[in-house]
Chains A and B, each alone.
Chain A
């Protein structure tokens, strides 16, 4: 039982750490703010959730102590991580940070231009 529990804990935490590494590499390698927030918010949120899950399993299966605060932390990160990424990307776009030069699609640009025009007419 202990061996099975240890395998489960190690696998969960290892998945988390690998995703954290992927997020860090993405932050260095990707070309602009939007792709970087994509890497940071998605991959880092998943990785921290996996690490917390591993911590929960460790305290539950090895120490026999069910810590619901860790589960609350997982739910909290699941809600707030992507919202944080969204807000960073949105504020970057609205302050005029350029997209990567090889981008092919910018569907928000005509909407923002239309809204600015309507705002000036008022």
Chain B
């Protein structure tokens, strides 16, 4: 029997964007406050899992056509490139650098190469979590 879950689906459409915005905030706030790539990635994955619960797997894979195994490898490559980049400046592996820049609208901000490493962690966490959940949920 097909059930009518319009309340869950409508609430999901609103809540999904709140979760994604919050995960982006957690990701970028990771340097000065609690948070970072791991928690942000888990939050993004949980937002997509909420979509999977409210709709079915086929709808979600058509709206978000992402190959999560490729996403995982891209994340690992970004982390590896951040680690390898320090070799060219004749410093030990994984040495990070930062400087202050005057950005338009944002003013004086410090930009740090650790953000690239965190991006790698974020992509790996989202990719691995979604691969696990999709492959478990897929075998009917």
5 examples of A-B residue contacts, CB within 8 angstroms: A75-B18, A79-B14, A80-B11, A83-B8, A90-B3
Contact indicator per residue, chain A 16-59, by CB within 8 Å of chain B (1) or not (0): 00000000000000000000000000000000000000000000
Residue numbers of A with Cβ under 8 A of B are: 69, 72, 75-76, 79-80, 83, 86-87, 90, 94, 115-116, 119
Provide the residues of chain B in CB contact with A79, threshold 8 Å: 11, 14-15, 18
- Category for how many chain B residues contact A: 10 to 19
Is B101 an interface residue when CB atoms closer than 8 A count as contact? no
Is B7 an interface residue when CB atoms closer than 8 A count as contact? yes
Provide the residues of chain B in CB contact with A75, threshold 8 Å: 18
| A118 nearest in chain B by CB position | B1
User: How would you classify the secondary structure of chain B's contact residues: helix, strand, loop or mixed?
Assistant: helix
- Given contacts A79-B14, A116-B1, A119-B1, whether A86 and B7 have CB atoms under 8 Å apart is yes
- Report the minimal beta-carbon distance from B91 to chain A, rounded to whole angstroms: 37
| A75 nearest in chain B by CB position | B18
- Report the minimal beta-carbon distance from A41 to chain B, rounded to whole angstroms: 13
Is B22 an interface residue when CB atoms closer than 8 A count as contact? yes
User: How would you classify the secondary structure of chain A's contact residues: helix, strand, loop or mixed?
Assistant: helix
Provide the residues of chain B in CB contact with A76, threshold 8 Å: 15, 18
| B50 nearest in chain A by CB position | A80
Provide the residues of chain B in CB contact with A83, threshold 8 Å: 7-8, 11
- Report the minimal beta-carbon distance from A22 to chain B, rounded to whole angstroms: 25
Contact indicator per residue, chain B 13-37, by CB within 8 Å of chain A (1) or not (0): 0110010001001000000000000
- Report the minimal beta-carbon distance from B49 to chain A, rounded to whole angstroms: 14
A72 lies within 8 A of B22 (CB): yes
| B25 nearest in chain A by CB position | A69
With A and B bound together, what is the CA distance between A115 and B7 in angstroms? 19
